[in-house]
Structure 1
Amino acid sequence: VSITPWNFPLAILVGMTMAPVVVGNGMLLKPASNTPILAYKMYEVMEEAGVPAGIVNFVPGSGSEIGDLMTDDPRVRFITFTGSKAVGVRIYERAAKVHPGQRHLKTVVAEMGGKDAIIVDKSADIEAAVEGIVASAFGFAGQKCSACSRVIVHQDVAEAVTKGVVERTKAKVSVGTGVGGASAVTAIADANQFESVKNYIEIGAGEGTLAYAGEVPAELNGS
């Protein structure tokens, strides 16, 4: 079973799908519930390429229903997952239980979310550090497991790094639809993710100082 993520709905999906196939396994492909169409298009490509029927099986739907069903099935031996910590922990818990008719202990490979940090020492190249922080934090609108979520800075250079990040964000980060590649920060995946991003901004502002708040075009605000 491969349970693939919404934030890289094609790139990660291809690896998680084809790796089991090339070593001789049949598999169930369960895409993220909010990005099933792109996964289905990839499934069609596999069919056209001659992957035999029944080797890759496209199973879209709610993770809490279909995901649990596949995880619990005694015929499933391997489960790969990319997604949130909460869902990954749930998969580990359910996969650990041995069901009637099950012949093997299940193997789970889970890539889950985290709070990625960039550490800036006082000997660092400040300009390079600032460039890396902004690119990591705002690339793909921050919708990736490797996005910079926090910066740990030596106190001697904290002011310079903060100022540099604010200035570079103002100069380089623009919000838009992403059509034509003109925008650094493009669309959030769906309304739930949009609300989650706003919530984290509010948490950050409440716990510390909001150094800079950019403007979101009215036509893009929640659309």
Structure 2
Amino acid sequence: MEGPISNECFDVINPANGEVVSKAAAGHEGDTQEAIEASYAAFQDWAATPATKRAEILIRIYQLMLERQKELAQTISLEMGKPLKQAMGEVKNAADYVLWNAEEGKRIYGKTMQASEENKRLKVIQQPVGPVGAITPWNFPLAMVTRKLSPALAAGCTVVLKPAEQTPGSAVQFFKLAEEAGIPKGVLNLVTGNPAKIGDALLSDKRIRKIAFTGSTAVGKHLLKNAAEQVKRVSMELGGHAPLIVFEDADLEQAVTNILRAKFFNSGQTCISPNRIYVQESVKEEFLTLFKEKVEGLKVGNGLEDDVDLGPVVNKAGLEKAIEHVEDAVRNGANLIYGGNECKVTGCENGYFYSPTILSDVDEAMLISHQETFGPVASIFTFDDELEVVNKANNTDYGLAAYIFTQNLSRSVRVSEGLEYGMVGINDTVLAQVQGPFGGMKESGMGREGGPDGLADFLETKFISTII
């Protein structure tokens, strides 16, 4: 791997202790242009490579990822604080996307149609869209990379990747594994550094035919607006503000166990984390008692230590946002049931730790009800009837993920179909699965990653009519 044109680097910081983990290349427009040129030059040969050959390379990458699982997980934990056992799970999930898309790449089908004239032959083929610019976030620094790169590669596209500046390490390691697996020169290109300059270079160059992005809705809108200048294809997984509804007929033990896993996984720093937990009034007290008991057992600490459930939030801004949301809620009438304070972890005095927190009696006037906290704060709302809560759940510009807990089959069908979200979990909070399409409605994005149509966003449909 080559260094940046500027020969400059930036520090990568461990949020658990404030120490410098590593240094990364500070790339900018010139480096991005070189990467685009390499990607463009390699595209025709890679597109013409048989799908089985592309799959063989991807499967080898999958195998190498599993062999280096612990090393990759340690890098994730060091750079963004994720507990090691969760980081190990992320590596496995990231590898599964590589394997899934390797197999799907061998199933890119065309069609033939009956023509209206006997000397005509009609067919449709699928071809790779072209070089792709991929931009990934810090909260799942490896899984987001493979969810974009593996379908692009399987479809026959070349890629220029810009990973989050907070977490470049696991992307660098992935590229080394890809090289070891035999990926041809120029097919994969990595640029780390200034996000605005790199992103603008990808957007302005006509040789990049598609942008694949995961991140905030505000940045997504900027990318979409600029991509429109060239009618450049885009797929985007943007912000979320997930509702989770607990009906009075729910199995509360099941609901609390699942909420605990979803809300505090990665210290609440996931786009599908339940931000608004609606509990039916008749079971509110029972729910809160059980939920508090579970939350009290969570351990906060350095993600590299054993048995840690919550690591730090990613940076000072993330910590300040959690503090602001909790203080605003309490000031405006919410009840602090548990937590609500910064944590001091021995040996990590400079870390950005916030205690797992429960707020009850939250209402729509509070910041936390309409802004994504991205921290370990569970906000409990109450409701009386089904129609009321569905309307409240849908009253947002976001539409990524939603959750329902009920034992009533008819209700589960009605509510899941009535919720304006791209993904709905019924008595389940694990939605990021390779077999299913991941993505949202409204301002939560466009396009889907994973599932049986995961390669569709990287393919063009071409109709061919032939007179013989």
TM-score (norm 1): 0.89
Question: 2: CA distance between counterparts of 1:187 and 1:70?
Answer: 32
In structure 2, what residue type is equivalent to 1:36?
P
Change (3 A) 1:120 1:4: same
Aligned to 1:101: none
Superposition deviation, residue 123 in structure 1: 0.8
Instruction: Describe how 1:1-223 pairs up with structure 2 within 5 A.
Output: 1-98=133-230, 105-171=231-297, 173-207=298-332, 208-213=334-339, 216-219=343-346, 220=348, 222-223=350-351
- Structure with greater strand share of residues: 2
List gaps (5 residues or longer) in structure 2: 1-132, 352-468
SS in 1 for 2:138: coil
Write out per-residue CA displacement over residues 44-86 of structure 1, whole angstroms, 9 at most, x where no aligned residue: 1111211111111101122222112212222221111111111
The amino acid that maps onto 1:92 is L
Contact conserved, 2:326 with 2:340, CA < 8 A, in 1? no
Relative to structure 1, the CA distance from residue 84 to residue 181 in structure 2 (aligned partners, 3 Å threshold; closer, same or farther) is farther
Instruction: Report the secondary structure of 1:64's partner residue.
Output: helix
Query: Structure 1: 5+ residue runs without aligned partners?
Result: 99-104
What value does the CA root-mean-square deviation take over the aligned residues? 1.8
CA distance in 2, matches of 1:194, 1:50: 42
TM-score for both structures, normalised by structure 2: 0.44
* Letter paired with 2:150: M
| Identity within the alignment, % | 33
Higher RCO (CA-CA < 8 Å; seq separation 6+): 2
Structure with higher Rg: it is 2
| C-alpha distance 112-167 of structure 1, shift in aligned 2 (>3 A) | same
- 2:447 paired residue number: none
- Please state how far the C-alpha of 1:202 moved relative to its aligned partner: 2.6
CA distance in 1 between partners of 2:309 and 2:206 (Å): 45
Question: Cα 1:222–1:164, aligned 2, differ >3 Å: closer, same or farther?
Answer: farther
- Cα distance in 2 between the residues matched to 1:68 and 1:197: 31
Give the conservation status (yes or no) of the 8 Å contact 2:161–2:189. Answer: yes
Count of residue correspondences: 216
Q: Which moved more, 1:64-73 or 1:207-216?
A: 207-216
- 8 A Cα contact 1:28 1:59, kept in partner: yes
Distance 1:86 1:181, change over 3 A: farther
SS in 1 for 2:326: helix
What per-residue deviation string (whole Å, max 9, x for no partner) do you get for residues 137-161 of structure 1? 1111111112121201111112221
User: How many angstroms apart in 2 are the aligned matches of 1:206 and 1:89?
Assistant: 33
**Contact 1:170–1:214 under 8 Å retained in 2:** no
